[in-house]
């Protein structure tokens, strides 16, 4: 499949741009931002819909306040973001305004999207902004996000937003050309990888962890994000953000940056949300039969396939399903609490009522609420 084929039906693009692209010695690099805005505007004229995930709040705030060196504490970073986020939006607003376009700001934390109702609400808002032709600019709500509710870095945030807006393509604009087979800062022999058909352990190993002095996520977090996004059936491109017209180049089918092809067996939106947004509250150990039924046949999980229950959770909670060796294979929302499953595990469905005195469901986890992370060929989606 050529790049052109992969990109033919793309209309809705999520562009993520990192702090290392947007900021220079003098804080926000206005020329680069104008250049990016021109590029986005041209794509819009070509009938593409664009949503932007932009970093740069902390770096910009730090520069505005004239704080030398690194920001040490989390409150300092959060305070810098409070100053920088406003500045960032003003710069974007001015730049898009020159093209007659409005911008809208959406700041998110993880807890905003782990709640299904709020997730759907935000989704409706984002769809409305798209319908109105507003350029939505999304960032983590850095000033209020503490560890437990943090996306961590904007690569991860963008992977979650890809689901919120049901993007057709994610383009991650970075300060490098793309993914190299080894760290280009360390080896002159490093070669750019133009196409990744599958994220193998070797591909993961070629991505080093280091972020830039201003950005949070290094190449590793970009590859992890690519893994999630491609598991949702969306192609992912890591591309050089400072190159003029880079977005148009990509949509013209030029071999720019690294393209990660989508997985053929992918998760739907709700299952993607279960898999990557929710934190498991416990673990269910499955026997061989149930493991195979989930992976190969897409079956629901019945009490008979559960051998052990770990954790304390209630009905509706997300739990991880693991094979007999403890390898995670799926995540799903349980119909019964940990206490109830301990009583009915190993039993035939017909026995549930006899043991519990009631039977609200046949399944421990219904297949519609079960995101299987292993493809039938044994490859992992995470």
Number of residues that bind ligand GLU (CB under 6 A): 16
The span from the CA of 315 to the CA of 364, in Å, is 9
Q: Of these, 35, 49, 55, 206, which contacts ligand GLU (CB under 6 A)?
A: 55
Residue number with CB closer to ligand GLU (20 or 330): 20
The span from the CA of 233 to the CA of 60, in Å, is 34
The span from the CA of 77 to the CA of 68, in Å, is 13
Give the nearest distance from C-beta 13 to ligand GLU in angstroms: 19
Give the nearest distance from C-beta 54 to ligand GLU in angstroms: 7
- Considering only the stretches 39-47, 211-219, 273-281, 328-336, report the one whose residues sit in contact with ligand GLU under the rule CB under 6 A: 211-219
Residue number with CB closer to ligand GLU (216 or 341): 216
Residue number with CB closer to ligand GLU (144 or 296): 144
Q: Euclidean distance between the first and final Cα of the chain, in Å?
A: 23
Planar angle of CA 367, 369, 372, nearest 5 degrees: 65
What are the residue ranges of helices labelled H in the chain? 3-7, 19-22, 30-45, 57-64, 74-97, 110-114, 116-131, 154-165, 201-206, 219-231, 246-251, 269-277, 288-297, 338-344, 352-356
Residue number with CB closer to ligand GLU (83 or 309): 83
Q: 15, 10, 20: which is closest to 53 by C-alpha?
A: 15
Binding map of ligand GLU across residues 78-117, x = CB under 6 A, - = no contact: ---x------------------------------------
The span from the CA of 87 to the CA of 266, in Å, is 39
- Considering only the stretches 51-59, 68-76, 90-98, 251-259, report the one whose residues sit in contact with ligand GLU under the rule CB under 6 A: 51-59
Q: Which residue has the tokens 């504490």?
A: 73
Q: 219, 236, 226, 221: which is closest to 184 by C-alpha?
A: 219
SS3 353: helix
Q: Per rule CB under 6 A, is residue 241 in the interface with ligand GLU?
A: no
Q: Per rule CB under 6 A, is residue 33 in the interface with ligand GLU?
A: no
How many residues are present in the chain? 382
Instruction: Please spell the DSSP secondary structure of 127-193, one letter per residue.
Output: HHHHHTT-EEEEEE-TTT--GGG---SHHHHHHHHHHHHT-SEEEEEESSSS-BSS-TTT-TT--B-
Q: Per rule CB under 6 A, is residue 340 in the interface with ligand GLU?
A: no
The span from the CA of 154 to the CA of 157, in Å, is 5
Give the nearest distance from C-beta 210 to ligand GLU in angstroms: 13
- Considering only the stretches 36-44, 55-63, 105-113, 356-364, report the one whose residues sit in contact with ligand GLU under the rule CB under 6 A: 55-63
Q: Of these, 6, 17, 19, 179, which contacts ligand GLU (CB under 6 A)?
A: 19
Residue number with CB closer to ligand GLU (58 or 250): 58
Q: Of these, 28, 58, 223, 231, which contacts ligand GLU (CB under 6 A)?
A: 58
Residue number with CB closer to ligand GLU (140 or 323): 140
Q: Per rule CB under 6 A, is residue 142 in the interface with ligand GLU?
A: yes
The beta strands (E) that lie in 287-368 are given as 306-311, 318-322, 328-333
- Considering only the stretches 36-44, 50-58, 166-174, 292-300, report the one whose residues sit in contact with ligand GLU under the rule CB under 6 A: 50-58
Give the nearest distance from C-beta 12 to ligand GLU in angstroms: 22
Q: Per rule CB under 6 A, is residue 56 in the interface with ligand GLU?
A: yes
The span from the CA of 332 to the CA of 319, in Å, is 6
Q: Of these, 29, 39, 112, 153, which contacts ligand GLU (CB under 6 A)?
A: 153
Q: Of these, 7, 57, 138, 365, which contacts ligand GLU (CB under 6 A)?
A: 57
Q: Per rule CB under 6 A, is residue 35 in the interface with ligand GLU?
A: no
Give the nearest distance from C-beta 221 to ligand GLU in angstroms: 8
Using CB under 6 A as the criterion, which residues of the chain lie in contact with ligand GLU when the complex forms? 18-19, 55-59, 81, 139-140, 142, 153-154, 215-217
């Amino acid at each position: 499949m050529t790049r052109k084929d992969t990109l033919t039906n793309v209309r809705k693009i999520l562009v993520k741009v990192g702090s290392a692209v947007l900021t220079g010695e003098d804080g926000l690099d206005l020329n680069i931002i104008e250049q990016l805005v021109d590029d986005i505007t041209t794509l819009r004229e070509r009938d593409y819909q664009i949503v932007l995930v932009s970093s740069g709040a902390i770096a910009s705030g730090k520069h505005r306040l004239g704080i030398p060196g690194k920001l040490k504490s989390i409150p300092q970073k959060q305070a810098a973001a409070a100053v920088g986020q406003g500045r960032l939006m003003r710069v974007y607003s001015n730049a898009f305004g020159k093209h007659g376009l409005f911008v809208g700001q959406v700041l998110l934390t993880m807890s905003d999207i782990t709640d299904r109702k709020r997730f759907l609400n935000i989704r409706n808002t984002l769809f409305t902004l798209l319908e109105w032709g507003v350029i939505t600019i999304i960032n983590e709500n850095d000033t209020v996000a503490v560890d437990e509710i943090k996306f961590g870095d904007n690569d991860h945030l963008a992977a979650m937003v890809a689901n919120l807006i049901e993007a057709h393509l994610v383009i991650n604009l970075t300060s490098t050309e793309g993914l190299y087979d080894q760290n280009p800062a360390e080896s002159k022999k490093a070669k750019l990888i133009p196409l990744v058909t599958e994220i193998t352990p070797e591909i993961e190993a070629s991505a080093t962890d280091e972020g830039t002095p201003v950005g949070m996520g290094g190449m590793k977090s970009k590859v992890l994000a690519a893994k999630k996004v491609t598991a949702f059936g969306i192609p992912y491109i890591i591309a050089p953000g400072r190159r003029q017209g880079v977005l148009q180049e990509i949509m013209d089918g030029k071999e720019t940056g690294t393209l990660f092809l989508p997985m053929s067996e992918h998760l739907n939106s709700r299952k993607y949300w279960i898999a990557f947004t929710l934190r498991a509250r416990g673990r269910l150990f499955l026997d061989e039969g149930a493991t195979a039924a989930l992976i190969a046949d897409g079956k629901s999980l019945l009490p008979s396939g559960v051998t052990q229950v770990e954790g304390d959770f209630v009905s509706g909670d997300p739990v991880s399903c693991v094979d007999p060796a403890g390898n995670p294979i799926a995540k799903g929302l349980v119909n019964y609490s940990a206490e109830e499953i301990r009583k009915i595990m190993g039993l035939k469905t017909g026995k549930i009522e006899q043991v519990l005195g009631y039977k609200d469901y046949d399944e421990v986890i219904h297949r519609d609420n079960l995101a299987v992370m292993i493809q039938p060929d044994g490859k992992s989606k995470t």
